[in-house]
Structure 1
Amino acid sequence: MYENTFPNTRFKHTLTFLQKHIATSESILDLGVENPFTKIMVAHHYKVANTHGEDLDFDFSSVTASNAKVVTAFEIFEHLLAPLNVLREIKADKLVASIPLRLWFSPAYQSKTDAWDRHYHEFEDWQFDWLLEKAGWKIIDRTKFTNPVNKIGFRPLLRKFTPRYYLVYAERIV
């Protein structure tokens, strides 16, 4: 089911959390282009549509046109300069989102070849909570988890014990 070993831990945690909060009968708009986790959601009978690769800092058209009951955003907000804007434009009443947490022993991720594949934000949990609250969301459930890598070294050792991902289920405040 899972295509490679690196994201397996992350995908398993994410799927279990999604299944805990979202019924397969609820339509989902997944922020970002189709990806390996989109395929996992579909394989588990979720009805999923994705945005189309537009710059969500400026173009909210896929978000505002969607009638999905749920929005998912898995490791997307760290790539946006202003995630508050798209969070405020979401019409759905439910949000399931994950972010990589800022790690004290590792700098923010920056691809050397792809300008889009950079982390403008690596949040601490309280910062992401605050962002969601300012955008009109109430966090109902949250969890943190590690995603160990099979490498030797000080940083890989720390990654076995230090939570790297933060996952939340939130509902729109009316």
Structure 2
Amino acid sequence: MYEKTFPNKRFKRTMHFLKEVLPAGCEVLDLGVPNPFSKLMQQEGFTVKNTEGEDLDLNLNGIKDTQTDAVTAFEIFEHLLSPLPVIDAIRADKLVASIPLKLWFSSAYRSKTDPWDRHYHEFEDWQFDWLLEKAGWTIKKREKFTHPVKKLGLRPLLRLFTPRYYLVYAERTNS
């Protein structure tokens, strides 16, 4: 089902993690519009509802008004100016989220063609942990992994062994 190419390598790793922490058939609110990974979650037996593309910095209704078993947020929080209110607004007791880690050898991502596609935050792992803890979550499982690119150069070489993604499973500690 998955190939060894990006993003399928990342999808395979993320799906394996997701299946370890959430039961089959779980109802999930996936932050972000429908995407290839949310469709893959449905194929794997999860019941998935997505947010509708609203600006989550300004409109939390799609999160506050939805009760599900879990929320997933794959590469979402780095696009927000203020992720704390979003994380705090989640009504589910389980959260699976991934973020790109800050790389010391590369500046934050900013698309050259899409003015909305940029990272306001690229976290270090401890910063994301602290953000989740501040919003009342306890991390139960975490994993980091690399994102090699098929290019020549110093930065592509560093990406072979420097973790780029941070994936966490957290449970709500206070309701």
Contact map agreement 1:26 1:46 (CA 8 A) in 2: yes
Structural RMSD (CA) = 1.3
1:115 is displaced (CA, Å) by: 2.2
Residue 148 of structure 2 is aligned to residue 155 of structure 1: no
Alignment of 1:29-48 (within 5 A): 29-48=29-48
Contact map agreement 1:9 1:147 (CA 8 A) in 2: no
Between Structure 1 and Structure 2, how many residues are aligned?
174
1:79 is displaced (CA, Å) by: 0.1
Distance in 2 between residues matched to 1:77 and 1:61, nearest whole Å: 17
Contact map agreement 2:101 2:122 (CA 8 A) in 1: yes
Distance in 2 between residues matched to 1:143 and 1:3, nearest whole Å: 21
- Provide the residue aligned with 1:62 in structure 2: 62
- Provide the residue aligned with 1:169 in structure 2: 169
Distance in 2 between residues matched to 1:4 and 1:168, nearest whole Å: 22
Distance in 2 between residues matched to 1:9 and 1:102, nearest whole Å: 20
Q: Secondary structure at the match of 2:160?
A: helix
1:4 is displaced (CA, Å) by: 8.6
Contact map agreement 2:2 2:12 (CA 8 A) in 1: no
Contact map agreement 1:95 1:170 (CA 8 A) in 2: yes
- Provide the residue aligned with 2:138 in structure 1: 138
Q: Deviations over 1:27-60 (max 9, x none)?
A: 0000000111111111111110000000001101
- Provide the residue aligned with 1:89 in structure 2: 89
Distance in 1 between residues matched to 2:47 and 2:4, nearest whole Å: 23
**TM-score of the two chains, using structure 2 as the length reference:** 0.96
Distance in 2 between residues matched to 1:158 and 1:135, nearest whole Å: 33
Contact map agreement 1:24 1:47 (CA 8 A) in 2: no
**TM-score of the two chains, using structure 1 as the length reference:** 0.96
Q: Deviations over 1:124-158 (max 9, x none)?
A: 00000000001111101100001211111111111
1:113 is displaced (CA, Å) by: 2.3
Contact map agreement 2:3 2:9 (CA 8 A) in 1: no
Q: Secondary structure at the match of 1:13?
A: helix
Q: Secondary structure at the match of 2:95?
A: strand
